[in-house]
Structure 1
């Protein structure tokens, strides 16, 4: 099958789906996001597929949204509205579509293994954490740095995979953790040396692919249902709305201005330096008469 942003291959009951924008570290644009349901529908419909591997072409899994294009202003981000007043409902609709596109991985009734090398950062971690299991290279990294400014992870899988304290650590700091730390936190299934990543994922596929599709479907659905009954959809609605708020807060607009003026790499360096972000841009409670 042919897709614009994905490579798709089936061999011996395993479908391998590869995000294919290697020149941009598989950064997400809206075209790539919209193809997720299509490529997973293909694997879902194929009776020869029992297990799916999701990976990235080139140097890494996925570096997040294409902010070099969007934040620097060379492309129009449909969710960042410079004309005021900002309409949060338009922002929510666009980003909710992205959230649901990634959740096509979750809703697929076949097991999905994320194979991570390089980085699964920001929106890339949203994608990875929708998968059923994650195998990482020891030197790969995963995290959501935009929680420091200009973003909230819309799938909000962190809390469901880590629990309250470790999820807050990741969401309060924006840290990127390597494969070994991700495994020790319980975030992923396993971390292995980079040169063993392919073999480790293949071994897991080999163990799963002999199981009947109906057994895999039933067990995946019952586990997922438990989390959906915990309020997963409601959590994602709040997260997706707050993601828009984060991009239009005073600090969020500062980050966008810095990216446009100095380039995205410089804005990110300032964001991740540990120094106060956009100091003086926020109003205090006292400005609103609140003690």
Structure 2
């Protein structure tokens, strides 16, 4: 039985290594695994496949004895603009919103799976560094905040706007990065903040001009690649354990449940109907500008 389990794991790993990727580009160079979100035509928005392919690549990097550090980035104009709302909100997709009465455990199971895929970056034994240019918004911010360190371009933006209506950040990493008050400042407004402000809040390690971002990431990562892999893993496990002891898993359970509730609340259902009627771009603009009353389901005068 032990031999069978071993060979099953080996075959699974080989399958991961050779599986073709449609939403992510993966390469290894000079002890660094580069994972790049690769749906630039839709600003790397998240579809059903991307979370699975992300964790597959993280696993692949951790099984590669030549890799010391993982760098996550986005292709094109942005890091990640969040979930693909054209698919999840404007179209009739039951993974995002079920017909009433809805099954909260079905929703939780589906979204928890995505959360775990994102958290593969946090729980990766090897360090993960995120390079953010353009937008890292909504679900895109969830992905970025799961990394060990984030470097942003000054003009890049990060935020979780669905906190205004239709969502809750399932990874809940905001509070663990900036503390209670600053997390409330972001999530009770749904504001987008620049890399400069994100650095001031302590949300990201560093913010630099766009033209310096790649060099700054490489400088940090190459400093780490000279450290033995076992040392990198030990230090990361030690630090991560602090957050685990603070109840990270329990917090994420509530956050994922609340995310489903937010999408199935009267206001959440109103947002979905509005997206279907006027298109998600208009609905999102109304949400973010505060010009629509989602409880009354009508524009504010």
Quick check: 1:16 aligned with 2:34? yes
The correspondence of residues 188-267 of structure 1 with structure 2, limited to 5 A, is 188-267=204-283
Q: How many residues align?
A: 279
Matches of 2:199 and 2:221 in 1, distance apart?
19
Please identify, of 184-193 and 32-41, the stretch whose mean Cα deviation from structure 2 is larger: 32-41
Q: Secondary structure at the match of 1:101?
A: helix
Matches of 1:91 and 1:120 in 2, distance apart?
24
Computed over aligned residues only, the root mean square deviation of the Cα atoms, in angstroms, reads 1.1
Following TM superposition, by how much is the alpha carbon of 1:104 offset from its aligned partner in structure 2, in angstroms?
Answer: 0.7
Q: Is the 8 A contact 2:89 2:96 kept in 1?
A: no
Q: Is the 8 A contact 1:144 1:174 kept in 2?
A: yes
CA deviation vs aligned residue, 1:18-75 (integer Å, no higher than 9, x gap): 01111111100111111122110100000110011000011100000000122111x6
Matches of 1:84 and 1:164 in 2, distance apart?
34
Moved over 2 A (4+): 274-277
Partner of 1:158: 174
For structure 2, the residue ranges without an aligned partner over 5 or more in a row are: 1-16
Partner of 1:129: 145
Q: Is the 8 A contact 1:79 1:90 kept in 2?
A: no
Matches of 2:90 and 2:243 in 1, distance apart?
37
Following TM superposition, by how much is the alpha carbon of 1:164 offset from its aligned partner in structure 2, in angstroms?
Answer: 0.4
Please identify, of 149-158 and 27-36, the stretch whose mean Cα deviation from structure 2 is larger: 27-36
Please identify, of 166-175 and 30-39, the stretch whose mean Cα deviation from structure 2 is larger: 30-39
Q: Secondary structure at the match of 1:97?
A: helix
TM (norm. structure 2) is 0.91
Matches of 1:240 and 1:277 in 2, distance apart?
25
Q: Is the 8 A contact 2:95 2:110 kept in 1?
A: yes
Quick check: 1:34 aligned with 2:52? yes
Following TM superposition, by how much is the alpha carbon of 1:274 offset from its aligned partner in structure 2, in angstroms?
Answer: 2.5
Partner of 1:50: 68
Matches of 1:175 and 1:165 in 2, distance apart?
14
Which one of the candidate residues 69, 91, 99 is aligned to 2:115? 99
Following TM superposition, by how much is the alpha carbon of 1:79 offset from its aligned partner in structure 2, in angstroms?
Answer: 3.2
Q: Is the 8 A contact 2:88 2:96 kept in 1?
A: no
Matches of 2:202 and 2:294 in 1, distance apart?
34
Which one of the candidate residues 184, 187, 205 is aligned to 1:171? 187
For structure 1, the residue ranges without an aligned partner over 5 or more in a row are: 282-291
TM (norm. structure 1) is 0.94
Following TM superposition, by how much is the alpha carbon of 1:276 offset from its aligned partner in structure 2, in angstroms?
Answer: 5.4
Quick check: 1:141 aligned with 2:157? yes
